[in-house]
Structures are given as structure tokens and as C-alpha cells.
A and B are shown apart, each in its own frame.
Chain A
Amino acid sequence: MNFDLADQADKFVMLLGGLIAFVVLVGGLLLVLDVIPTKLAERREARLAAAAEAGAPIPAGAARGREGWLAFGFLAPALLLLSIGLIFPAIRTTILSFMNGNSTEWVGFDNYTWMFGQPDIQNVLLNTLVWVLVVPALAATIGLLYAIMVDKARGEAVAKALIFLPMAISFVGASIIWKFVYAYRSGEQDQIGLLNQIVVWFGGEPKQWLLEEGFKLNTLLLIVIMIWIQAGFAMVILSAAIKAIPAEIVEAARIDGTNAWQMFWRITLPAIRPALIVVVVTITIATLKVFDIVRTMTNGNYDTSVIANEMYNQSFRYGETGHGSALAVFLFVLVIPIVIFQIRNIRKQRSEA
């Protein structure tokens, strides 16, 4: 036993401090927002009363301006944190991507030419492409298939929970689970990894799966983990969308004599299209940023690295901030079309509402 709760006291003190800060900040903000407008309102009413006595018209638009200040109070913490935590850093990263490794000199587009010129990095970009093509497609397909197959079947809740559960597990935990599946021991010993055991049962030779670079096999094996995690998400969303299809539409189609497959392609699929788009977009974004799985499984060795992992290595291990920033900016550029697509969706929804 080498654990003493007393040693942990400092941490709990920090936690307590954090909680006190929370109460003071949030409580204080609400208090300020409550007191100041009330004071202002009293003064304004006095003024308006005076103005009304003098017969002057009540100024229009005053209400809107007042609300603006209050709204700013509500939004201030969020906007402040977003500026410090996301907006300025993103701008700064973009600037850093045009500077050298320790950010002392301007180097123009050198980091970008490095990114597309280096065979290692080209391979990283290719891997990311494989991830982004395979994960959303397979996760959505499996999710959809499974949602349809277990819909209203006996034990639907349990069946769904089984697929959905990996969502709660950390990528690191999931990686360890799969590392164990892929574990390798040489042929004469008993296997401890399930995959190699199955190969042996079928009379094959056990393999070091994560070292198999041919046909990107090791990358595909890492991709399996991501699909394993994301399919549950796809399944839940698509299952809800399927259940929400109005019965009348289906009845009408049935009267017209459509068979099950036509029904699927012409009714179900179009009806769940918005949900399907959301699923694919969300999984695509998550996949672009995937980091934990690669880092835990192979640390990017054996040609399995992806942009996010390489960005971490360049910036925080090799001290090449310029290279890392260029990779981060490239990641952002990849995501921009998706942002525009989503914004257009929101605006459409807002105008319909």
C-alpha cells in the first residue's frame, strides 16, 4: 500500500478553491446583472415621468438599447473565454504557421511546402484521408443497419445499449481494449489476443497486426476502434429519425404497392436524410481530429500517424511550432467546407421556424 489520502489534501484544497470561485463568479455576475439594471430602471422611470409631465414624446428604441447592455452582461463570460481560448489562439496559430520552428523569423509558405513535400507527412495526410473516408461511411452504415434490425425487436433496449456503450469509454480505454484484441505472441506459444487466436484456429500464422503496413492494414485496424466507438452514436440518432417518420406517408406508399426495398430507398432514406447528414458531418469532424487512438496504439509509428498526432509531435515534442501550426491550420481548412454547409443548414432552419 502506497497511498495516503493525506497526501492528496493539496488537490482537494484546489478543488475547494475552484468551487468557491465558481459560486463567487456566477453568483456575483447574476447579482450585478440584477442590481444595476434595477437601479437604471428606477432612474429612467423618474426621467420618463418628468418627460411625460413636460409633454415630450417617449423616445422609441430605448428599450432595445437597454436590452443590449444586459445581453452583453449575460454573454460576457462566454465571449471573453472564447476570445482568449479559441479566437485569438486560432489567429495566432495561423500567424505562427508562417514562422520558423521557434517563431523568431518569417518563413513565408515554407511550412506548407514542407507539409506537402515531405514523404513522411504526405503519408500522414494520406492516412487522415483514409480515416475520413472510411470511418463516417462505415459507422453510419453499421449504425443504420443495426437500428433497422433491432427496431422493435425483443430486447431492443439491451441490444442498443451494447452498441452504444463504447461512447462512454475514453479513447485511451478503448485503445487498450483493442490492443488486447490485437496482442501478438510468437507461433509456438498460446495466443492471448483474440484476433490472432482466431487466425490460429483457422490454421494461420499469428501476426504482429500493428506492424503490418501493407494495404494500410494497421491504419485500418486503428480505424476499427473509431468505428467501434462512433457506430453507437450513429445508431441512436438514426433510430430516432426512423421512428419519427409520419405514418401517413408510409400508408400512402403502401397503398401504392411499394415493396420493402423501394420503401427503404424512396421513403425511409429520404425521410432520415437530415439526420444522416448530421451523423456523417459530426463523425467526420471527430475523425479529422482523432488523436488519442493513434497515440495510444502506435504513437504514430509504422506509418500510422495522422494530422492531429503529427501536429502534437511537431509542436510539443520536436519544438517545431511552425510545422505544427501549419498542420493545425490545414486541419481547419479541411473543416471549413463542413462549417459553411452547417451554417447554411442552420439559417435554413431559422428561416423556416
Chain B
Amino acid sequence: MSGSVLLFALAVGQLFLALAMAAAAFRILRGPRAQDRVLAMDALYVNSMLLLLVFGIGSGTTLYFEAALVIGLLGFVATVALAKFLMRGEVIE
């Protein structure tokens, strides 16, 4: 019984995180200025990392953890590079 509750909760959690990613993607498409798009991309990265973690719980393997770690690392680097680009006009000075 508790197993089916866990399955249902994992499905609902994945649905919520997919909706959160859709909201961030909509802000990327619509965002009036560049910094709104960068902020929404950061939120998209965090939400996709959480979605991979929930999917990893559902599938029972720890493989998805490494993918989530890589997404976290790359999201940080991408957002910092884009913020520097917005500030200076170039990434590596």
C-alpha cells in the first residue's frame, strides 16, 4: 500500500517539476530583457536537476545522481558566464 503511495507521490512530483520547468521556459521565451532570460535559465537548470533526482528515486539506480551533479555544475558556470557577459560584454577579459 505504501509502495503505491510512493509511486503516486513520485508521479505527482515529476508532474509538478515538469510544470515548473514549463513556467521557466515560458519566462525564457517571453522575458522582456536579457537578465530575465538568464534568471529563468538558472531556474530551469535547478528544476531539471530536481526532476532527475526524483526520477532516480523512482528508477532505483544512483546513475541519475551523477547526471544531476553535472547539471548543477554546468548551470552554475553558464549563469556566471552569462552574468559576466551582461555586465562587461565579454566573458573572458
Q: Do A and B bind each other?
A: no
